[in-house]
Amino acid sequence: MFHKEGYPSIVISTILFAALLWISTAITYPILHYVPVLVGAFIWIIVLQFFRNPKRVASHQSAIIAAPADGKVVQIKRVSEDEFFGDERLLVSIFMSPLNVHVTRYPCDGEVVYSQYHPGKYLVAWHPKSSTLNERTTVVIRHQTGEEVLYRQIAGALARRIVNYAKKGDTAHQGADAGFIKFGSRIDIFLPLNARIMVNEGQVVKGSLTPIAELG
């Protein structure tokens, strides 16, 4: 199954593939005959795999915070979060390569109490200042315990479009589709200091399936 954000790109790549197949029929030289076919097939497969959207069912306990996206945990540390909380939080950063599933999923159940888009630059996603300088969206969910969890979609050097479905007042359901980031990026999750982190740096996680923390 494919994400709805990818339908235009899938249609365009399919038309391109068909056009290159037609061009290949006019090439009589044996080796060159296959070049347009291989190029078209490569582009088509890359687009299809990028926009894949596997269905997943979150089955964690209510206090568990699930990974909001596929990728690799590249950073776990205590930081100051100034946009919403204005205090220190536990940060878990997940880097998404172009080969990962790029669907953003709600990390927990609760109410969306904050959702803000920020235009910005396109530094590489692992750059230390990308979380404050790059194009990004910030979403805060108030859990039923009263704790608040913030996640931030951050554009990278290749990502040129962030899609965020979360709106203030919405009800978030863990694992549900919350948005999409096109062509590689990063997601930061800011957790209360009393949360128990359940992942390690370098660990590969799956959106909605991997528990990354438990609220205190």
Whole-number pLDDT of residue 128 = 58
Whole-number pLDDT of residue 160 = 59
Q: Select which of 13, 130, 185, 208 is catalytic.
A: 185
How far is Cα 71 from Cα 94, in angstroms, rounded to an integer?
Answer: 6
Over 80: is that where the pLDDT of 196 sits? yes
Whole-number pLDDT of residue 158 = 59
Query: What does pLDDT average to over the chain?
Result: 86
How far is Cα 77 from Cα 211, in angstroms, rounded to an integer?
Answer: 17
Over 70: is that where the pLDDT of 17 sits? yes
pLDDT digits (tens, 9 = 90+) for 108-146: 999 999 999 988 666 665 555 556 667 889 999 999 889
The model's confidence at residue 67, banded by pLDDT at 50, 70 and 90, is: very high
Over 70: is that where the pLDDT of 57 sits? yes
Whole-number pLDDT of residue 124 = 60
Over 60: is that where the pLDDT of 172 sits? yes
Q: Which residues pair with 95 in a beta bridge?
A: 72, 186
Instruction: Please compute the mean of the pLDDT values over residues 27-49 and round it to a whole number.
Output: 80
Instruction: Please compute the mean of the pLDDT values over residues 24-30 and round it to a whole number.
Output: 77
* 139 in Cβ contact with 105 (< 8 Å): no
pLDDT digits (tens, 9 = 90+) for 83-104: 999 999 999 999 988 788 889 9
Helix (H, G, I), strand (E, B) or coil at 15: helix
Cα distances from 27 to residues 13, 22, 23, in angstroms, run 21, 10, 7
Instruction: Please compute the mean of the pLDDT values over residues 23-44 and round it to a whole number.
Output: 80
185 is catalytic: yes
Please calculate the CA angle 116-119-122 and round it to the nearest 5 degrees: 125
Task: For domain 64-214, give the CATH number.
Answer: 2.70.70.10
The model's confidence at residue 210, banded by pLDDT at 50, 70 and 90, is: very high
Whole-number pLDDT of residue 21 = 80
Would you kindly state where each structural domain of the chain is located, as residue ranges? Answer: 4-50, 64-214
